[in-house]
Structure 1
Amino acid sequence: MASVISVDDVGISFKRNRQRQRSFKDLFADRQRRAAPDEFWALRHVSFEVAQGEAIGVVGRNGQGKSTLLKLVAEVMLPDEGTVAVRRGVAPLIEITGGFVDDLSVRENVYLSAGLHGKTRDEIDAEFDDIIAFAEIKDFVNTPYKHLSSGMKVRAAFAVVSRMDEPILLVDEVLAVGDRGFRTKCYARIEEMLDEGRTLFFVSHNDRDLQRFCTRGLYLDKGLLQFDGPIEETFERYSADYA
């Protein structure tokens, strides 16, 4: 089966000291010459392929590049080394905002976000009430997004993202912000999407959630892909390193 995501020898670095500015000359230097003492590699030499319909859990301690990897796949970040090729559309829920604009109302954000992912206004009109009902925010549709609680922001973002027709779903740990009842609804919807043949990238520190949805695991540590295999073996490897 052809890959829908190809990650080939990818690396990305960040500055520890945000005040340091890269010079114009640095932009044209090779990667080794540009490296500086205050830079660190969040990811390096990461390679893997993903087939349509796979459900992949990304495992590792905090600060080991899990969310960065999802942002590379979502193409909201670009690697400093290697390539990321995503051959199908992506529905990302990788930050608490879900890509929503703080100063726009919930209603405006629903139309903007869904429209950017190819839905027509008529299609959004037909789904709008269901989206708001799923998110349980009927009384806040005209409220600026920035005034919602963290839980309501997650509910609104997931309700829109889960309605998108994109075949690849990226979910970061934002669902941990929602209450238990809403998480149950989200998980049921994720299972429906998997049954439809969607591809799932899921980051969570909840082992049970990862094992519930995912059959394959990627274990990241020290910026490197330490293991790529069945999700149970991934947890075994992770647990052995940090028992």
Structure 2
Amino acid sequence: MTENILIGKSLSEETQLGVDDKALTKEQVMLKLDSVGVSYPDNRRFSRDKFWALKSVSLDLRKGETLGVLGRNGAGKSTLLKLLAGIIEPDTGTLFRRPGVHTSLLALQLGFIPDLSGRENAIMSCILLGMSRKAARARLESIFKFAEIEDAIDKPVSVYSAGMRARLGFGVAMEADPDILLIDEVLGVGDKDFRVKSKDVILEKIHSDKSVVIVSHDLATVEELCDRAVYIKDGVTVQQGSVDEVVSTYCRDGS
């Protein structure tokens, strides 16, 4: 996992974190993005153009807080989560991640290998999140019990439904106990009982010293669970601040 990425000129930690802002000390910052851009190659034949999924995104995630991310389809939210998770790196701007911090991405489109079984994918995911193989194996029973898919643990993930994959990812993320939990539209997965259970676990994380990022189209979820919010449109940060203010801007924009 990349811990500290600097694109462009080298900056001191104090400069990166903007510690001249007395309201936010560098000890509070878990992640900070400053004018970050991420591009992908244009798929058109012979084209040298790039598609910029993120153009200029700035935000910060503080220790122990829950940050909501709002944005309509195509705004760049999924790319942002991959960036925060360390799966990809920025092409422009700067990204700071506090050294030693472990991050887990919980999404409906998880990076499981389809031909491997649920058991094998769970072990691999736990190892990628920093566990030893022995520790990963010791947590399998709890993972599958939480995910409620004990009967499918040795079946290939390719036969799992989207909900089963999401619940497996949820179970892995909860057992890994990361410092930063990134959640992408999974709070509505499963039946009513599982939604209640998963929400209770997320609330437990939120009320601990964990930092959480929640991407959701459900404004009620953001208003209920988040301390602050950020609104992204067309790969650009429109606003970051209190949940009420950001939700209000998001609703007024409506485009």
Same fold (TM over 0.5): yes
Equivalent residue letter for 1:59: L
Offset, 1:124:
2.8
Structure 2: distance between partners of 1:116 and 1:173: 22
Cα deviation per residue 1:80-112 (whole Å; 9 max; x = unaligned)? Answer: 211222221101113422x22111111111111
Aligned to 2:30: 4
Paired amino acid for 2:39: S
* Cα distance in 2 between the residues matched to 1:173 and 1:20: 36
Distance 1:77 1:140 in 2: 31
Helix, strand or coil for the counterpart of 1:153?
helix
Indicate the SS of the match to 2:115.
coil
Give 1:191's aligned residue: 203
> Contact between 2:117 and 2:156, CA under 8 Å: does it hold in 1?
yes
Alignment of 1:29-108 (within 5 A): 36=49, 39-87=50-98, 88-97=101-110, 99-108=111-120
Are the equivalent residues in 2 in contact too, given 1:67–1:94 (CA < 8 A)?
no
Distance 1:81 1:93 in 2: 26
Partner of 2:17: none
CA RMSD of aligned residues (A): 1.8
Letter in 1 for 2:240: D
User: Where does residue 19 of structure 1 map in the other structure?
Assistant: 45
What is the CA-CA distance between 1:211 and the residue it aligns to? 1.6
1:238 positional shift: 0.7
Partners of 2:158 and 2:181 lie apart in 1 by 24
Question: Does the CA contact (< 8 Å) of 2:180 and 2:211 recur in 1?
Answer: yes
Q: Within 1, Cα distance between the matches of 2:32 and 2:104?
A: 17
Are 2:35 and 2:92, in contact at CA under 8 Å, matched by a contact in 1? yes
Structure 2: distance between partners of 1:186 and 1:211: 18
Q: Is the 8 A contact 1:151 1:179 kept in 2?
A: no
State whether structure 2 residue 236 is matched by structure 1 residue 218: no
Q: Specify which of 125, 130, 133 is matched with residue 137 of structure 2.
A: 125
| Cα distance in structure 2, aligned partners of 1:185 and 1:145 | 23
Amino acid at match of 2:177: D
d(CA) in 2 for partners of 1:217 and 1:61?
A: 14
Matched, 1:208 2:220: yes
Are residues 171 and 18 of structure 1, via their aligned partners in 2, closer, same or farther at CA, if it must alter by over 3 Å? farther
Q: Residue by residue, what CA displacement relative to the aligned partner does 1:185-221 show, whole Å, maximum 9, x if unpaired?
A: 1111111112221111110101111122111000011
Contact 1:58 1:66 in 2 (8 A): yes
SS of 1:100's equivalent in the other structure is coil
* Offset at residue 242 of structure 1 (A): 1.4
User: Structure 1 CA distance, aligned partners of 2:58 and 2:135?
Assistant: 38
Aligned counterparts of 2:191 and 2:47: Cα–Cα separation in 1: 41
TM-score w.r.t. the length of structure 2 is: 0.82
1:18 & 1:133 partners in 2: Cα distance? 46
Deviation at 1:160, TM superposition (A): 0.6
Q: Deviations over 1:26-45 (max 9, x none)?
A: xxxxxxxxxx3xx4432222
Q: Which amino acid aligns with 1:89?
A: H
**AA in 1 matched with 2:92:** E
Residue aligned with 1:228, SS: strand
Unpaired runs of at least 5, structure 2: 1-24
Q: What secondary structure sits across from 1:162 in the alignment? A: helix
Task: Give the gaps of 5 or more residues in structure 1.
Answer: 23-35
Range with bigger deviation, 167-176 or 13-22: 13-22
